[in-house]
Amino acid sequence: MAPPPTSTISPIIITLVLKILMLVLLLASLVVLATDTATLSLSFYTTFVESKIHFDDVYTYRYVLASIIMGLVYSVLQTALSLYHIATGKRLIIGDGAFLVDFYGDKVISYVLATGSAAGFGATKDLKALADVTNVDDLDDYFDKAYASASLLLFAFICAAILSVFSSYALPKMVNSSSTQNPA
Amino acid sequence: MAPPPTSTISPIIITLVLKILMLVLLLASLVVLATDTATLSLSFYTTFVESKIHFDDVYTYRYVLASIIMGLVYSVLQTALSLYHIATGKRLIIGDGAFLVDFYGDKVISYVLATGSAAGFGATKDLKALADVTNVDDLDDYFDKAYASASLLLFAFICAAILSVFSSYALPKMVNSSSTQNPA
């Protein structure tokens, strides 16, 4: 079956949409995580103490934040490169470099987002279970927001993984692709 | 510069070594995780209670186990396919299917192992910090073994990620590679 006539332009648009979607999801994930606070009420006999908990009181959420920021920086750069490409009709990075930057960049960033999301889900699941056992109800919303942030990060990862498949399929377009290692 | 004369055979050997290394690391990670137990001594006034803790008492470690098992099944299959290829000189999966199985298989498994390891590290870091705060020393070894398992899984992930780069570079060898989508 012949490829559709728009096959040369549509992949650029598809990847641009994915990059923008990833950017929006990462921004949402960042806002949800950064604003995640809780007030813990502790009572020692007749004394009540209120303790404010921020997202960075859970060590894992610091890694989640770091992965979101890395993803944000990358997707802003990638979106800018795509817009430049569409506006001017040429790439800012010329030669095979563009394909390699996309290929390794998408690959590394998709791993960063996957690990950020997984670490967030894992830590939240077990800390929430522990809070439930010890009847600390004040933290329910706190952990639910952490789940929401990790979920948004998961969707951003899916965008990155699809982009990574695209940039892998683009490797044959490299000028010097015959010099690449072909296992088997 | 001309490629070295062994360039047609060495990638098969390199990928086989990586597959076997990944298999060994996953087996080690499985053994360390599955044998991870602790005895928690709790005292209620004059009564002492001992509670046995297994790896699956932490929810996240169940996901870590699942990711290790998925990785093991995949690397056993991949090692068998490589050995068959080397022994008989031909592939069991013929045509473009072999390249696609390697490409998507390596990609998915590398994400599974990355998330398993990240979830393990995240949950362990925060649960251990919580155990330290509440002076539960009995769990130190338990969490250290969980770290060891997650570390072995991380190294297995690195093998999977390198294999994934190899199988991406092999995509241009597909017979019908001209019909693949090339973004940009």
pLDDT category at A8 given cuts 50, 70, 90 is low
* Closest CA relative to residue B165, chosen from B93, B83, B110: B110
The rounded percent of chain B whose pLDDT value lies above 70 is 90
In this predicted structure, the answer to whether residue A42 has a pLDDT above a threshold of 80 is no
Q: Given B122, B129, B180, which is nearest A63 (Cβ)?
A: B122
pLDDT category at A181 given cuts 50, 70, 90 is very low
In this predicted structure, the answer to whether residue B184 has a pLDDT above a threshold of 60 is no
For the domain that residue B152 is a member of, what is the CATH number? 1.20.140
Q: Which residue type occupies A149?
A: S
* CA-based nearest distance B1→chain A, Å: 10
The size of the A-B interface in CB pairs under 8 A is 142
In this predicted structure, the answer to whether residue A2 has a pLDDT above a threshold of 50 is no
Residues of A in contact with B117 (CB under 8 A): 115
Q: What is the pLDDT of residue B8?
A: 54
* CA-based nearest distance A179→chain B, Å: 8
Q: Is residue A3 part of a domain?
A: no
pLDDT category at A3 given cuts 50, 70, 90 is very low
Q: What contacts B164, CB < 8 A, 6 or more positions away?
A: A107, B103, B106, B107, B110
| Closest B-chain CA to A11 | B183
Q: Which domain holds residue B125?
A: 20-171
Q: Is residue A180 part of a domain?
A: no
Give this complex's ipTM: 0.87
Q: Is residue B84 part of a domain?
A: yes
Judged by average pLDDT, the poorest of A24-33, A86-95, B123-132, B163-172 is A86-95
C-alpha angle with apex A134: A130 to A137, nearest 5 degrees?
A: 90
Q: Is residue B99 part of a domain?
A: yes
Q: What is the tens place of the pLDDT at every residue in B49-91?
A: 888 899 999 999 999 999 999 999 999 999 999 999 888 888 8
Q: Is residue B183 part of a domain?
A: no
Q: What is the tens place of the pLDDT at every residue in A101-115?
A: 999 999 999 999 999
Q: What is the pLDDT of residue B179?
A: 43
Q: Is residue A59 part of a domain?
A: yes
| Closest B-chain CA to A114 | B115
Residue A58 in contact with partner chain B when CB distance is under 8 A? yes
Q: What is the pLDDT of residue B1?
A: 45
In this predicted structure, the answer to whether residue A180 has a pLDDT above a threshold of 50 is no
Q: What is the tens place of the pLDDT at every residue in A128-149?
A: 999 888 777 788 899 999 999 9
* Closest CA relative to residue B104, chosen from B152, B163, B172: B163
| Closest A-chain CA to B63 | A122
Most B CBs within 10 Å, among A115, A175, A180, to test the B interface: A115
Q: What contacts B28, CB < 8 A, 6 or more positions away?
A: B152
Q: Is residue A55 part of a domain?
A: yes
Q: What is the pLDDT of residue A183?
A: 45
Whether residue A58 and residue B126 make contact (CB cut-off 8 A), yes or no, is yes
Q: Is residue B123 part of a domain?
A: yes
Residue B169 in contact with partner chain A when CB distance is under 8 A? yes
CA distances from A24 to A21, A109, B20, B174 (A): 5, 16, 40, 35
Q: Which of A32-36, A87-91, A178-182: highest mean pLDDT?
A: A32-36
Give the span between the Cα atoms of B37 and B35, in whole angstroms.
6
Q: Where is B42: in which H helix or E strand?
A: strand B38-44
Helix axes B97-133, B140-169, angle to 10 degrees: 160
Give the span between the Cα atoms of A143 and A129, in whole angstroms.
10
Q: What is the pLDDT of residue B9?
A: 55
Q: What is the pLDDT of residue B2?
A: 47
* CA-based nearest distance B149→chain A, Å: 15
Q: What is the tens place of the pLDDT at every residue in B11-33?
A: 888 999 999 999 999 999 999 99
Phi first, then psi, for residue B29 (nearest 5°) are: -60, -40
**pLDDT mean over A175-184:** 48
CA distances from B123 to A38, A176, B129, B164 (A): 20, 44, 10, 27
In this predicted structure, the answer to whether residue A6 has a pLDDT above a threshold of 50 is no
Residue A183 in contact with partner chain B when CB distance is under 8 A? yes
* The CA-based dihedral angle spanning residues A182, B113, A25, A140, taken in that order and rounded to the nearest 10 degrees: 180
Q: Given B15, B60, B183, which is nearest A184 (Cβ)?
A: B15
Q: What is the tens place of the pLDDT at every residue in A59-81?
A: 999 999 999 999 999 999 999 99
Most B CBs within 10 Å, among A168, A176, A180, to test the B interface: A168
Q: How many helices (H) and strands (E) would you count in chain B?
A: 4, 2
Phi first, then psi, for residue A173 (nearest 5°) are: -75, -10
Q: What is the pLDDT of residue B175?
A: 62
The total number of structural domains that make up chain A:
1
Q: What is the tens place of the pLDDT at every residue in B93-137?
A: 777 888 899 999 999 999 999 999 999 999 999 999 998 887 777
CA distances from B23 to B12, B89, B155 (A): 16, 23, 11
Q: What is the mean pLDDT of chain B?
A: 87
Q: Given B3, B60, B172, which is nearest A122 (Cβ)?
A: B60
